[in-house]
């Protein structure tokens, strides 16, 4: 059976629309806020949630998401608690959820357990930022067994051979890192995204979502014209850090959606 992620991209393809993907750090600012934030984003038109499990040493993240992880950890967030949050979200929503974290918390939990428990919590797939395809075989096997998608990153530095491997290990979609660097808002979009999209299209038919540095409706609109999905993270995490209301988050999501549908 196709996962919610696969169904989503299938549906959007027919509508010729790109997916709006929102990254939020689970438990930021508190575990009980996360399901409310996700609901607000869904009302604003978000199609897929990347639910971040905070890690103590987030080497791929810029200051904004680092601060979000710190807030979440301070609030007592663990992988176990993130799964509870997912279950709460699933009670009222069918929005596809991708668990997004670093390798060590997942490894500590055990891949087998992770596959079983994330699936049971209603999560649809996983992405581990610092797990390279070379090292991924045991993880991918456990996720497949549980019926979860495994999303991997492709980067502007990836060689053609590496892009093939990334495509081979990914299901659901491939996450394109639009530029070298850590997560964070940028005023200008990178010119490395389009060549990366073009190279990736030659090796896979999977949907391609782009992230890193996309934070405004205009930028989301530009990326939506070339990619199958647009990921916005730091801009949201910054608002959450400023205690933005659900209404504000919903309005921001709607502005992104409108920027993409224009």
- Is position 236 an interface residue for other proteins (rule: CB under 8 A)? no
Say whether residue 68 binds other proteins (CB under 8 A): no
Q: What is the DSSP string of 196-235?
A: HHHHHHTT--S-EEEESS--SHHHHHHHHTTSSEEEE-HH
Strand segments (E) across the chain: 19-25, 48-52, 97-101, 125-128, 149-150, 153-154, 174-177, 208-211, 229-232
Residue 78 engages other proteins in binding (rule: CB under 8 A): yes
User: Is 103 a binder of other proteins (CB under 8 A)?
Assistant: yes
**Contact between 202 and other proteins per CB under 8 A:** no
Q: Which of 6, 42, 47, 50 is catalytic?
A: 50
Nearer to other proteins, 29 or 105 (CB): 105
Residue 61 is among the residues annotated as catalytic for this protein: yes
**Does position 120 bind other proteins by CB under 8 A?**
no
Specify the pairing of strand 208-211 against strand 174-177: parallel
How many Cα atoms occupy the beta-carbon half-sphere of 128 within 13 Å? 22
Q: Look-up: residue for tokens 């038109």?
A: 45
- Does position 62 interact with other proteins (CB under 8 A)? The reply is yes
Q: Which listed residue (61, 124, 149, 250) is catalytic?
A: 61
Rounded CA separation 251/80 (Å): 31
Q: Which stretch binds other proteins (CB under 8 A): 50-58, 200-208, 225-233, 245-253?
A: 50-58
As to burial, measured by CB atoms within 10 angstroms (0-12 exposed, 13-18 middle, 19+ buried), residue 87 is middle
Q: How far is CA 105 from the centre of its chain?
A: 17
Which C-beta is closer to other proteins: that of 156 or that of 259?
Answer: 156
**By the rule CB under 8 A, 34 interacts with other proteins:** no
Contacts with 94 (C-beta within 8 Å, 6 or more apart), sequence order: 4
Say how many C-beta atoms besides its own lie within 10 A of residue 169's C-beta: 19
Candidate ranges 7-15, 38-46, 146-154, 215-223; the one touching other proteins (CB under 8 A): 146-154
Among 104, 113, 199, 255, binds other proteins (CB under 8 A): 104
Q: Using CB under 8 A, pick the residue from 108, 145, 201, 225 that binds other proteins.
A: 108
Kindly indicate which of the ranges 8-16, 30-38, 75-83, 239-247 contains the residues binding other proteins, using the contact rule CB under 8 A.
75-83
Residue 124 bears catalytic tag: no
For other proteins, the binding residues (CB under 8 A) are: 55-62, 66, 73, 78-80, 103-109, 129-132, 134-135, 152-159, 162, 166, 177, 180-182
Residues annotated as catalytic (active site), given as ranges = 50, 61
């Amino acid at each position: 059976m196709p996962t919610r992620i696969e169904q989503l991209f299938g549906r959007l393809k027919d509508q010729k629309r790109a997916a709006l993907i929102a990254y939020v750090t689970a438990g930021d600012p508190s575990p009980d806020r996360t399901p409310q934030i996700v609901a607000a984003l869904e009302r604003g038109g978000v199609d897929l949630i990347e639910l971040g499990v905070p890690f103590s040493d987030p080497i791929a993240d810029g200051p904004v998401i680092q601060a979000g992880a710190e807030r979440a950890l301070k609030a007592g967030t663990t992988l176990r608690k993130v799964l509870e949050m997912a279950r709460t979200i699933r009670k009222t929503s069918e929005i596809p959820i991708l668990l997004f974290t670093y390798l060590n918390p997942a490894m500590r939990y055990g891949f087998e357990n992770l596959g079983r428990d994330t699936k049971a919590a209603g999560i649809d797939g996983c992405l581990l930022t610092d797990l390279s395809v070379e090292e991924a075989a045991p993880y991918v096997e456990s996720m497949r067994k549980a019926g979860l998608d495994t999303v991997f990153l492709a980067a502007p530095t990836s060689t053609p051979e590496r892009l093939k491997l990334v495509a081979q290990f990914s299901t659901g979609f491939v996450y394109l890192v639009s530029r070298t660097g850590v997560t964070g808002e940028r005023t200008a979009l990178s010119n490395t995204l389009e060549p990366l999209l073009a190279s990736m299209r030659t090796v896979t038919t999977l949907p391609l979502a782009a992230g890193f540095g996309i934070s405004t409706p205009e930028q989301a609109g530009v990326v939506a014209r070339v990619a199958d999905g647009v990921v916005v993270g730091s801009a949201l995490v910054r608002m959450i850090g400023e205690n933005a209301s659900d209404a504000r988050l919903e309005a921001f999501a709607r502005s992104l959606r409108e920027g993409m549908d224009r």
